[in-house]
């Protein structure tokens, strides 16, 4: 029997080249969907380009609390108007030196920009650098969507696997401890288990990690990826650059299509 998996690209809206690459893969049927960063000035234009795919593709919200301009400007979360690096985010939030209300206001603003531009709720929510696993974001999810009515799906915790990236996966899994269970109790659907974590500084690892996931992921399992094209905007915003071209080229290739057939795997569409 054919096994269906979710293949979802992060970072739509990060830069025009990233968005263009993701749209092309969606058109080719090589992705289930993508999660959107809504905090940049280009977001309304990017939203118009993906709007016709809503329904056929899963279009989600990529919550962003690190390394980019804050939609809400200066606050305890972003004293100079820029969100902090990941290494300095978690402990200050947990230690209450960042006001939880400022974090929730930023998440409210990003969610509002999604709804205003696309005229709909996100199909799912995940987090840039996995920030949706943080306790302060878990609290926002439970409160915000209890009040708003209707709950999007959430990207769940990673599955332990490839020994080469086991420490990285274990570190993310530690932050995500209890997430799937608590969010399921709160009424959310989880996309799980999560695969696709590898050291992006080694682009040659992408194809083997994806191939292993094709063999190992269960029905409706999730593989996350970061395809796209490099442009000047991306170079100014994010250190993850050339590897996006590697991921895009592999996902668009005939070789990947053939590997799906050999593995007996289909990529789910957004209706699944």
The reply to whether 231 falls in a domain is: yes
State the Cα–Cα distance between residues 178 and 165, nearest whole angstrom: 21
* pLDDT score of 248 more than 70: yes
Instruction: Give how many domains the chain has, as a whole number.
Output: 1
pLDDT at 148: 52
Tell me if 243 is assigned to some domain.
yes
Residue 110 has pLDDT above 50, yes or no: yes
Tell me whether residue 11 is in a domain: yes
State the pLDDT at residue 149: 57
- Domain membership of residue 39 as a residue range: 3-267
Examine residue 272 and state whether it is found in any structural domain, yes or no.
Answer: no
Span 117-174, pLDDT tens digits: 999 999 999 999 999 999 999 999 999 997 555 789 999 998 765 444 577 888 888 8
CATH number at residue 24: 3.20.20.370
Between 138 and 95, name the one with better pLDDT. Answer: 138
**What is the widest separation between alpha-carbon atoms in the chain?**
54
- Paired with 4 in beta bridges are 266
In a domain, 131, yes or no: yes
DSSP letter at 39?
-
Three-class secondary structure of residue 232 per DSSP: helix
> Quick one: pLDDT at residue 95?
45
Position 183 scores a pLDDT of: 96
In a domain, 254, yes or no: yes
Peptide bond into 193 cis (omega under 30): yes
- Rounded average pLDDT over 66-80: 96
- pTM confidence score: 0.94
Does any domain span residue 36? yes
Q: Residue 44 above 90 pLDDT?
A: yes
Residue 251 lies in a domain: yes
pLDDT digits (tens, 9 = 90+) for 158-185: 876 544 457 788 888 888 999 999 999 9
H helical segments located in the chain: 16-28, 43-50, 90-94, 100-118, 135-148, 166-175, 179-185, 206-216, 232-237, 242-252, 254-263
Burial tier of 231 (Cβ tally within 10 Å: 0-12, 13-18, 19+): middle
The predicted pLDDT at position 39 comes to 97
């Amino acid at each position: 029997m054919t096994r269906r998996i979710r293949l979802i690209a992060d970072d739509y809206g990060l830069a025009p080249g990233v968005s263009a690459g993701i749209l092309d893969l969606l058109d080719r049927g090589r992705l289930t969907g993508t999660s959107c960063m809504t905090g940049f000035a280009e977001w309304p234009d990017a939203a118009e380009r993906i709007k016709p795919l809503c329904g056929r593709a899963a279009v989600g919200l990529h919550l962003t609390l690190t390394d980019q301009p804050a939609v809400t400007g200066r606050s305890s979360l972003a004293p100079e108007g820029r969100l902090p690096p990941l290494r300095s985010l978690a402990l200050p939030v947990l230690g209450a030196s960042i006001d939880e209300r400022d974090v929730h206001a930023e998440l409210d603003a990003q969610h509002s920009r999604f709804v205003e531009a696309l005229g709909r709720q996100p199909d799912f929510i995940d987090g840039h650098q996995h920030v949706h696993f943080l306790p302060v974001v878990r609290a926002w999810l439970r409160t915000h969507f209890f009040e708003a009515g209707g709950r999007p799906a959430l990207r769940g915790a990673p599955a332990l696997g490839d020994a080469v990236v086991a420490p990285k996966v274990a570190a993310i899994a530690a932050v995500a401890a209890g997430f799937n269970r608590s969010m399921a109790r709160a009424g959310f659907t989880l996309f799980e288990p999560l695969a696709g974590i590898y050291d992006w500084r080694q682009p040659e690892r992408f194809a083997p990690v994806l191939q292993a996931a094709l063999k190992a992921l269960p029905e409706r399992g999730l593989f996350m990826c970061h395809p796209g094209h490099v442009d000047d905007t991306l170079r100014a915003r994010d250190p993850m650059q050339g590897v996006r071209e590697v991921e895009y080229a592999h996902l668009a290739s005939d070789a990947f299509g053939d590997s799906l057939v050999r593995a007996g795997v289909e990529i789910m569409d957004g209706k699944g």
